[in-house]
A = this chain, B = another copy of it.
Amino acid sequence: MASRIESLCIEKGLKMTGQRRIIASTISEAEDHPDVEEIYKRAAKNDANISIATVYRTVRMLEEAGIIEKHDFGDGKARYEESSEEHHDHLINIKNGQIIEFHNDEIERLQEEVAKKLGYKLIGHRLELYAVPLKE
């Protein structure tokens, strides 16, 4: 059966090539937030012929389609994850780079409120918490 990503490609009249299938499922299976280099390495395990240019083109396409999300955690390279139903923000453990997802309705609400008070309509936001473990 066609995966979620395949259905979306068909819907948009895009060709479902082997490379796209592999790159898409690589991101889908990732439980972390891999950068392009990492996606490329993982995808290459399934098809050594994929080029990094194709990975760049594919993640851009998937991002524009809203299928995956792009993040920038300040290390100069883009990281990706599959879009989820529930919006979430990220806490980055600065000791080891581990990323924890969280969601807080109250913060979300306050953001809308802040924007409104300043005379703006909130379209999006970026919230990252940089932290260290309380104890080892």
Residues of A within 8 A of B (CB): 72, 74, 91, 93-94, 100, 102, 104, 106-107, 110-111, 114-116, 118-134
Contacts and interface: CB of A to CB of B under 8 A. Distances in A.
Nearest to A126: B128
A115 B133 contact: no
A80 to B, nearest CB: 15
The A contact surface, by secondary structure, is strand
B126 A121 contact: no
Contacts of A115: 91, 129, 131
A119 B125 CA distance: 24
Contact of A129 (B72, B102, B114): B114
A119 B107 contact: no
Contact of A126 (B102, B123, B126, B133): B126
A129 B122 contact: yes
Contacts of A120: 91, 93, 100, 129, 131-134
Contact of A111 (B93, B114, B118, B129): B129
